[in-house]
């Protein structure tokens, strides 16, 4: 196989390896990212469940603390405001989120704590406040505690309101007393939810879904509802809150290129190493089988080809026959002595090129060493045509002198040949015959 063909084959192999390598890296990268996204989503789901538990616990605690005031609200006794102040203070301290308490007998505010910040609310008639009256009326009709809001506070910030309907005849709940309202600091509530820090890369929406006809946004934005990733439900005494977790457009791409960053440089290094070895192999093989001066095949190359051809001939696997032609430059030493070794090299180079140009593509000329050449020519004709062919080659390559530094160097060569015959036992005998044929001519 010639050098060009081997190079093409190795390039094809390199291309195939490259395609397979890229496909494998991309497949591993894709698998890794799928697992990464799966793990990230699982973690997000766990954090969302933790947030639901934390939020639900906080709300239920505030609801419970506010509802404990119902037992004393219906009782009339001396120093009522003083007692309510102490109890309300204790409730607020235990809560951590409640900032004020309001009592409204017959839905008219008659007590607030702390008084200093909420004194203007005394005497407020809820029926005259449509937004608040709607929730209070619902709490009375359903006989359930509910949370309304968020609402903006006059003193700044937002708040959620716990509405606790109070009845004289608990637990029958037929004789309505009024309502107790607990104000939850909205900002403080959500700041104390530690689980929210783990979900900062996501869009979070909390919706009050107690009223299916008019759901209310508690936290975040409503856009996250339409294409949410995970959902959790906060269960309340009346109704529920839905927590929707969706991808943030700025953090939606979790695709990680770490596999590519590591794999592609390593793979590129492998390809470079592979190509270097291939180039080194082809170059060394070429040098091993070709003459450094003339660039034509050398003794090793031709011997290998001859051995293979001789074996095929013995098995009857060749069409026709083949000839070994031995060529020797006459008086080559004189050329070196008279013109210099550079001239001798030029003669060998030009002569090898002329011989090669006179051969067919499948025929071979090799430099055996010094001024000796060996030709391998295949034929499908008789010995007479073989003799003529050899004569033509010798004549063509020597009919013109070789020009070196303005001097004409005449060339003369002696040739001898051996035609393959079944009687020849081995290749070496055939080479000896060709050699003898040439030296017999030199003698005369």
In a domain, 140, yes or no: no
Of the candidates 226, 185, 224, the residue with the CA atom closest to the CA atom of residue 58: 185
Model confidence at 212: pLDDT above 90: no
pLDDT at 444: 45
pLDDT band for position 342 (50/70/90)? very high
For 278-334, write each residue's pLDDT tens digit: 888 888 888 888 888 999 999 999 999 999 989 988 888 888 889 999 999 998 999
In a domain, 223, yes or no: no
For 139-148, write each residue's pLDDT tens digit: 999 999 999 8
For 146-204, write each residue's pLDDT tens digit: 998 888 876 667 899 999 999 998 888 899 999 999 999 998 999 999 888 888 888 88
In a domain, 66, yes or no: no
| Total domains present in the chain | 1
Q: Nearest-5° angle of CA 246, CA 248, CA 253? A: 105
In a domain, 344, yes or no: yes
Return the CATH number at 398.
3.30.70.270
Percentage of the chain lying above the pLDDT 90 cut: 43
In a domain, 400, yes or no: yes
pLDDT band for position 224 (50/70/90)? low
In a domain, 171, yes or no: no
Percentage of the chain lying above the pLDDT 70 cut: 95
pLDDT at 1: 58
103-107: long-range contacts, CB 8 A cutoff, minimum separation 24 = 103/69, 103/73, 103/178, 103/180, 104/136, 104/178, 104/179, 104/180, 104/181, 105/73, 105/177, 105/178, 106/177, 106/178, 107/133, 107/136, 107/178, 107/179
The domain in which residue 306 lies consists of 292-443
In a domain, 194, yes or no: no
Range in 134-143, 193-202, 381-390 the model is least confident about: 381-390
In a domain, 13, yes or no: no
pLDDT at 199: 87
């Amino acid at each position: 196989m010639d050098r060009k063909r081997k190079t093409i084959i190795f390039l094809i192999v390199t291309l195939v390896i490259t395609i397979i390598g890229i496909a494998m890296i991309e497949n591993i990268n894709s698998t890794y990212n799928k697992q990464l996204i799966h793990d990230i989503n699982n973690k997000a789901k766990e954090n969302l469940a933790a947030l639901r538990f934390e939020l639900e616990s906080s709300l239920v605690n505030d609801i419970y603390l506010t509802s404990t005031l119902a037992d004393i609200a219906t009782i009339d006794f001396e120093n009522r405001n003083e007692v309510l102040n102490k109890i309300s203070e204790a409730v607020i301290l235990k809560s951590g989120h409640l900032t004020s308490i309001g009592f409204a007998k017959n839905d008219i505010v008659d007590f607030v704590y702390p008084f200093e910040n909420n004194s203007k609310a005394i005497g407020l008639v809820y029926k005259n406040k449509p937004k608040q009256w709607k929730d209070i009326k619902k709490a009375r009709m359903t006989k359930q505690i509910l949370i309304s809001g968020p609402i903006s506070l006059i003193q700044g910030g937002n708040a959620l309101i716990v509405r606790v309907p109070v009845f004289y005849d608990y637990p029958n709940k037929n004789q309505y007393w009024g309502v107790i309202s607990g104000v939850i600091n909205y900002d403080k509530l959500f700041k104390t939810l530690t689980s929210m820090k783990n979900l900062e890369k996501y869009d979070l929406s909390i919706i009050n879904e107690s009223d299916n006809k008019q759901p209310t946004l508690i936290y975040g934005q409503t856009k996250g509802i339409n294409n949410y990733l995970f959902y959790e439900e906060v269960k309340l005494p009346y109704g529920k809150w839905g927590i929707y977790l969706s991808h943030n457009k700025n953090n939606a791409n979790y695709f990680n290129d770490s596999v590519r960053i590591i794999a592609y440089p390593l793979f590129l290094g492998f390809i470079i190493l592979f190509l270097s070895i291939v180039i080194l192999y082809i170059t060394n093989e070429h040098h091993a089988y070709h003459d450094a001066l003339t660039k034509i095949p050398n003794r090793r190359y031709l011997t290998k080809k001859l051995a293979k051809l001789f074996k095929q001939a013995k098995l009857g696997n060749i069409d026709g026959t083949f000839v070994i032609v031995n060529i020797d430059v006459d008086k080559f030493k004189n050329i070196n002595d008279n013109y210099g070794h550079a001239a001798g090299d030029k003669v060998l180079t030009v002569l090898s090129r002329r011989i090669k140009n006179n051969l067919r593509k499948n025929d071979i000329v090799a430099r055996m060493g010094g001024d000796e050449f060996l030709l391998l020519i295949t034929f499908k004709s008789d010995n007479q045509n073989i003799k003529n062919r050899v004569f033509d080659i010798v004549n063509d390559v020597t009919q013109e002198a070789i020009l070196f530094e303005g001097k004409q160097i005449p060339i003369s060569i002696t040739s001898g040949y051996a035609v393959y015959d079944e009687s020849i036992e081995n290749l070496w005998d055939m080479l000896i015959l060709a050699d003898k044929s040439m030296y017999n001519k030199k003698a005369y």
